[in-house]
Structure 1
Amino acid sequence: MRSAGALHRLLDVVPVFEGDARVVLRFTLVPGSEFDLGTLAALERSDARVVPWDEAVRHEHDLILTASPKGALRVLSGPRVVLPHGAGFNKTVGDEGSPHLPSGLDPHYLLTDGEPWAALHALAHDEQLTRLTAYCPSAADRATVVGDPTLDRLLNSIRHRESYRSALGTGERRLIVLTSTWGPESLLTRRPELPRELISRLPHDAYQLALVLHPNEYSRTGSFDLSRQLAPALAAGLVLAGPHEEWAALLVAGDAVVTDHGSTALYAAALGRPVIGAYDGGSELIPGSPMAQMLAKVPHLTEAADLTQALRAAEAQDSTGFADAAFALRGQALPRLRRECYRLLGIHPPTVPATPHPLPRPVSTAQSPSAFAVRADISGLRIGITRFPAFTSETVNHLAAEQPEAEQRQIQSASVLWRRARPASTAPHTSSWTAAGWTARMLEESPGCWTAAALLTPERCLLRHRSAGVLSVRIEPCRTGGRILRADPAAVVSAAHAWLGSTTSPWRAPVSLLCDIGPLTVRAELTPAAEEDLGYEL
Structure 2
Amino acid sequence: MLFAARSATALQRLLDVAPVFAGDGRVTRRFTLVPGSDFDADALTALEDAKARTIPWSEACEGVFDLVLTASPKGHLSMLEGPRVLLPHGAGFSKALPSEGSADSASGLDPAFLLSDGEPTASFHALAHPRQLAQLTALSPKAAERAAVVGDPTLERLLDSVSQRDRFRDALGTGARRLVVLTSTWGPESLLRRRPGMPAELATGLPHDSCQLALIVHPNEHSRDGSWDLAEQLAPALDAGAMLARPYEEWASLLIAADVVITDHGSTALYAAALGRPLMAAYDGGHELIPASPMAELLAASPRLRTPVDIADIDAALGAQQESVIRALADSAFAERGRALGLLRDELYRLLGLQPPPEPARTRPLPAPRHPARTPSAFAVQVETGAGEIRVERFAPSTERSAHHLAAEHGAANERQLQSAGLVFRRPSGTAPGPHSVAWTVDGWTAHIMDRYPGRRTAAVVLSPSRCLLRTRSSALMSVEIGPHRDGLGRIVRTDPAAVLSAVHAWLPASPELPATVVCRVGGQDFRVSIAPATGEEGDYPV
Q: What TM-score, normalized to structure 2?
A: 0.96
SS in 2 for 1:303: coil
1:179–1:257 Cα contact (<8 Å) kept: yes
Paired position in structure 1 for 2:396: 389
SS in 2 for 1:304: coil
Do residues 101 (structure 1) and 120 (structure 2) align?
no
SS in 1 for 2:365: coil
Structure 2 unaligned spans of 5+: none
1:305, distance to aligned residue in structure 2 (A): 2.6
Match of 1:451, as an amino acid?
A: T
1:228-377 to structure 2, matched below 5 A, reads: 228-305=232-309, 308-309=312-313, 311-313=315-317, 315-317=319-321, 318-377=325-384
- Listed one character per residue, the Cα deviations across residues 293-347 of structure 1 (whole Å, up to 9, x for unaligned) are 1112211114133563265146312311210110001011000000000000000
- Listed one character per residue, the Cα deviations across residues 366-396 of structure 1 (whole Å, up to 9, x for unaligned) are 1011111111111122101011111111122
1:110–1:139 Cα contact (<8 Å) kept: yes
Paired position in structure 1 for 2:140: 136
Paired position in structure 1 for 2:517: 512
1:101, distance to aligned residue in structure 2 (A): 1.5
Paired position in structure 1 for 2:539: 534
Match of 2:29, as an amino acid?
A: L
SS in 2 for 1:43: helix
SS in 2 for 1:196: helix
SS in 2 for 1:426: coil
In structure 1, how many angstroms separate the alpha carbons of the residues matched to 2:260 and 2:41?
32
In structure 2, how many angstroms separate the alpha carbons of the residues matched to 1:389 and 1:310?
18
SS in 2 for 1:95: helix
1:407-446 to structure 2, matched below 5 A, reads: 407-446=414-453
Paired position in structure 2 for 1:82: 86
1:299–1:314 Cα contact (<8 Å) kept: no
Shift in alpha-carbon separation, 1:355–1:393, aligned structure 2, 3 A: same
Do residues 125 (structure 1) and 125 (structure 2) align?
no
1:535, distance to aligned residue in structure 2 (A): 2.0
Paired position in structure 2 for 1:53: 57
Select the residue among 446, 465, 470 that pairs with 2:477.
470
Shift in alpha-carbon separation, 1:310–1:440, aligned structure 2, 3 A: closer
SS in 1 for 2:166: helix
1:434–1:536 Cα contact (<8 Å) kept: yes
Shift in alpha-carbon separation, 1:522–1:271, aligned structure 2, 3 A: same
1:188-207 to structure 2, matched below 5 A, reads: 188-207=192-211
Match of 2:87, as an amino acid?
A: L
Paired position in structure 1 for 2:499: 491
- Listed one character per residue, the Cα deviations across residues 449-479 of structure 1 (whole Å, up to 9, x for unaligned) are 1111111111111101112321011111224
Paired position in structure 1 for 2:508: 500
1:103–1:109 Cα contact (<8 Å) kept: no
Paired position in structure 1 for 2:527: 522
1:27-42 to structure 2, matched below 5 A, reads: 27-42=31-46
2:431–2:437 Cα contact (<8 Å) kept: no
Match of 1:425, as an amino acid?
A: A
RMSD: 1.3
Shift in alpha-carbon separation, 1:306–1:404, aligned structure 2, 3 A: closer
- Listed one character per residue, the Cα deviations across residues 117-143 of structure 1 (whole Å, up to 9, x for unaligned) are 211111000010000000011000000
1:276–1:314 Cα contact (<8 Å) kept: no
1:531, distance to aligned residue in structure 2 (A): 3.7
Match of 2:173, as an amino acid?
A: G
Paired position in structure 2 for 1:111: 115
Give the share of equivalent positions with the same residue, in percent.
57
In structure 2, how many angstroms separate the alpha carbons of the residues matched to 1:36 and 1:278?
28
Do residues 217 (structure 1) and 221 (structure 2) align?
yes
In structure 2, how many angstroms separate the alpha carbons of the residues matched to 1:390 and 1:302?
22
Do residues 174 (structure 1) and 170 (structure 2) align?
no
1:174–1:207 Cα contact (<8 Å) kept: yes
1:242–1:364 Cα contact (<8 Å) kept: no
In structure 1, how many angstroms separate the alpha carbons of the residues matched to 2:148 and 2:536?
74
Shift in alpha-carbon separation, 1:175–1:58, aligned structure 2, 3 A: same
In structure 2, how many angstroms separate the alpha carbons of the residues matched to 1:522 and 1:114?
70
1:514–1:521 Cα contact (<8 Å) kept: yes
Shift in alpha-carbon separation, 1:501–1:229, aligned structure 2, 3 A: farther
In structure 2, how many angstroms separate the alpha carbons of the residues matched to 1:220 and 1:464?
51
In structure 1, how many angstroms separate the alpha carbons of the residues matched to 2:225 and 2:524?
37
In structure 2, how many angstroms separate the alpha carbons of the residues matched to 1:277 and 1:529?
52
In structure 1, how many angstroms separate the alpha carbons of the residues matched to 2:388 and 2:520?
9
Structure 1 unaligned spans of 5+: none
In structure 2, how many angstroms separate the alpha carbons of the residues matched to 1:485 and 1:236?
23
2:426–2:461 Cα contact (<8 Å) kept: yes
1:92, distance to aligned residue in structure 2 (A): 1.6
In structure 2, how many angstroms separate the alpha carbons of the residues matched to 1:470 and 1:456?
14
In structure 1, how many angstroms separate the alpha carbons of the residues matched to 2:523 and 2:135?
47
Paired position in structure 1 for 2:20: 16
In structure 2, how many angstroms separate the alpha carbons of the residues matched to 1:29 and 1:460?
56
Match of 1:529, as an amino acid?
A: A
1:69–1:103 Cα contact (<8 Å) kept: no
Size of the alignment, in residue pairs?
535
In structure 1, how many angstroms separate the alpha carbons of the residues matched to 2:308 and 2:69?
42
Match of 2:100, as an amino acid?
A: E
2:442–2:469 Cα contact (<8 Å) kept: yes
1:174–1:255 Cα contact (<8 Å) kept: yes
1:502, distance to aligned residue in structure 2 (A): 3.1
Q: What TM-score, normalized to structure 1?
A: 0.97
2:518–2:530 Cα contact (<8 Å) kept: yes
1:91, distance to aligned residue in structure 2 (A): 1.0
In structure 2, how many angstroms separate the alpha carbons of the residues matched to 1:88 and 1:65?
20
SS in 2 for 1:195: helix
Paired position in structure 1 for 2:191: 187
- Listed one character per residue, the Cα deviations across residues 28-69 of structure 1 (whole Å, up to 9, x for unaligned) are 000111112111111112221111111111110011111100
- Listed one character per residue, the Cα deviations across residues 471-513 of structure 1 (whole Å, up to 9, x for unaligned) are 011111224443221100000100111110233xxx3322112
Do residues 399 (structure 1) and 406 (structure 2) align?
yes
SS in 2 for 1:295: helix
In structure 2, how many angstroms separate the alpha carbons of the residues matched to 1:131 and 1:300?
28
Do residues 454 (structure 1) and 461 (structure 2) align?
yes
